[in-house]
Chains A and B, each alone.
Chain A
Amino acid sequence: MKIALAQINPIVGDIEGNAGKIISIIKKIKADVVVFPELSITGYSPQDLLLNRNFVDENMAALKKIIKNTKNKAAIVGFAGKANGSLYNSAAVAGNEQIIEIHRKICLPNYAIFDEKRWFKEGTYATIFELSGKRIGVSICEDIWFPETTKRQKDKGAELIINISASPYRKGKFEQIENVLKQRWGENKIPIIYVNQAGAQDGIVYCGRSMYLKGGKIIKKCRDFEEEILVVEA
């Protein structure tokens, strides 16, 4: 299965522009699954724009448009998902113009620059989906920083983990991310695809360096801080 790590640099609030970029990449890239970062439709972090109903509605409408462009292909896209009167930091798995599964971020970071509990409710379900006979667990950023979600996905039969992130840079962060992913591999012995946001938003610089980890080793990785699309066979 060819999986594209679409490490993009979205602009916060530019829902139309971000969705347009996502659609053109889905159309252009030769891959079975194209994976985008956390909240890729809104850009990370939209902060209090998430309190604006119109903003959330527009991001949901953009998701629908993206889904319509997944002909003969699957995509994983980050968006702010509204359900039952609550907002979730969500990842849509779409394919053949339909939603296959939605993952809602379980571990909401609320320290340092993060304040996700201000806007989002925690998800509870460790999501897995099946694509071309392969069982894949999907998680969002912080979900993979702790063992539980990945383990639950492994227990449900996941053969591959795809994590979409918006991990900000600070000194020593790259080593930390690589260690966390290697730990998750060590605990579960299943490959991990990690797709991170690139570029900067209001002084917060996102690491990029999306990667494919297999056999405890990093097989391939994207550039630091800059946009790049990398296709791996997984």
Chain B
Amino acid sequence: MNTKEVCSALTSGIRDYFRKNNFRKSVIGLSGGIDSSVAACLAVKALGSRNVTAILMPETGVTSKNNIKDAENLAKKLKIDYHNIQINDSIQYFMNINKSLKIKNNIYAAANAKARARMLVLYYFANLNNALVIGTSDKSEIALGYMTKHGDNAADILVIGDLWKTEVIELGKFLGVPSSILRKKPSAELVPGQTAEKELGAPYEVLDKILKMHIEDDFSADDIIKQGFSRETVRNVADRIRLNEHKRRTAMLIRVSERSFHGMEWRMPITNRFKG
């Protein structure tokens, strides 16, 4: 990857989306992980440090102290404002519902509620500052649907959404992201000890190779297995891509008119100054 060139393209994309839609300010959730760190660096490059506000949203007891420290250090290094807002109270809210309705705690519902609690905080600050939310999902996560719908995938602009995780790390090195962040094992940190590679069944170096072949180079799952990749991993990847299409779209609209807002029909630009 020509990292410098890709970096210029991404900053140009960010800058013009904000400028052409009359926004200056941005809000970003900073976790101390590679994706949000690289996204924050790009936002600062494109918009200037005064226009980027970082929100750290740790869950006390789950989020590691190292991640909080790394996120704070990066915010200081980038000279951006940051706030540390812990999300335990929001999670407790759902635990209380469980208690009062005698619902058994469901680990997926609880984990996704955490990601959505963070989304609420980000959009609250976005509204306060007339800002857009910078999304931090990378292409590998988007492909695999490894994200919470309306949670960490809720954003106004996905600045690293077309970079595989391994490319995000490469870009991170170029942007001077501290090595303590670059070396970390990717984790959503929704439950203690969680790592992405454990959940996804293979390291990102392997997943990205499979994903690139399947998505960009048009290899079928069988073609990829023939290249020597494990059948189980390849099938898992291919199934995840197919089954998570809904996470890459807005809600399904049922069409009954001649001119609907269905995505297949309504293809309007978002950046649009035509008032007629």
In the assembled complex, the Cα of A46 lies from the Cα of B270 at a distance in Å of 10
**B268 surroundings in chain A (CB, below 8 A):** 47-49
Question: How does the 8 Å CB contact mask read for A8-24 relative to B, with 1 for contact and 0 for none?
Answer: 01011111010000000
**Contact A12 to B267, CB < 8 A, known contacts A201-B20, A224-B8:** no
**B273 surroundings in chain A (CB, below 8 A):** 11-14, 17
Q: Is the CB of B269 within 8 A of A171?
A: no
Question: How does the 8 Å CB contact mask read for B258-276 relative to A, with 1 for contact and 0 for none?
Answer: 0000000011111111101
Give the one of A52, A201, A226 with max B CB within 10 A: A201
> Which of chain B's residues has its CB closest to A45's CB?
B269
Judge whether A202 is part of the interface by a CB distance below 8 angstroms: yes
In the assembled complex, the Cα of A47 lies from the Cα of B13 at a distance in Å of 18
Q: Is the CB of A48 within 8 A of B9?
A: no
**B20 surroundings in chain A (CB, below 8 A):** 11-12, 201
Judge whether A133 is part of the interface by a CB distance below 8 angstroms: no
Give the one of B8, B157, B272, B276 with max A CB within 10 A: B272
Judge whether B257 is part of the interface by a CB distance below 8 angstroms: no
> Which of chain A's residues has its CB closest to B272's CB?
A13
**B13 surroundings in chain A (CB, below 8 A):** 200, 203-205
Judge whether A174 is part of the interface by a CB distance below 8 angstroms: yes
Residues of chain A at interface, number, CB under 8 A: 31
Judge whether A199 is part of the interface by a CB distance below 8 angstroms: yes
Q: Is the CB of B12 within 8 A of A200?
A: yes
Give the one of B9, B10, B15 with max A CB within 10 A: B9
* Size range of the chain B interface in the assembly: 20 to 34
Q: Is the CB of B274 within 8 A of A201?
A: no
Q: Is the CB of A226 within 8 A of B274?
A: no
Interface residues of A in 187-234 (CB under 8 A from B): 199-205, 224-226
Q: Which of B's residues lie within 8 Å of A, judged by CB?
A: 1-2, 5-6, 8-10, 12-13, 15-17, 20, 157-158, 266-274, 276
Q: Which of A's residues lie within 8 Å of B, judged by CB?
A: 9, 11-15, 17, 45-49, 52, 54-55, 58, 115, 118, 169, 171, 174, 199-205, 224-226
Subset of 13 A-B contacts with CB under 8 Å: A12-B20, A12-B269, A12-B274, A14-B273, A14-B274, A49-B274, A171-B6, A200-B15, A200-B16, A202-B269, A204-B13, A205-B9, A205-B13
Closest 6 CB pairs of A and B: A13-B274, A14-B273, A200-B16, A13-B273, A225-B12, A200-B13
- Beyond A224-B8, A225-B9, 18 additional pairs, beta carbon < 8 A: A11-B20, A11-B271, A13-B272, A48-B268, A49-B272, A49-B274, A58-B274, A115-B267, A174-B5, A199-B12, A200-B13, A202-B271, A205-B10, A205-B12, A205-B16, A224-B5, A225-B12, A226-B12
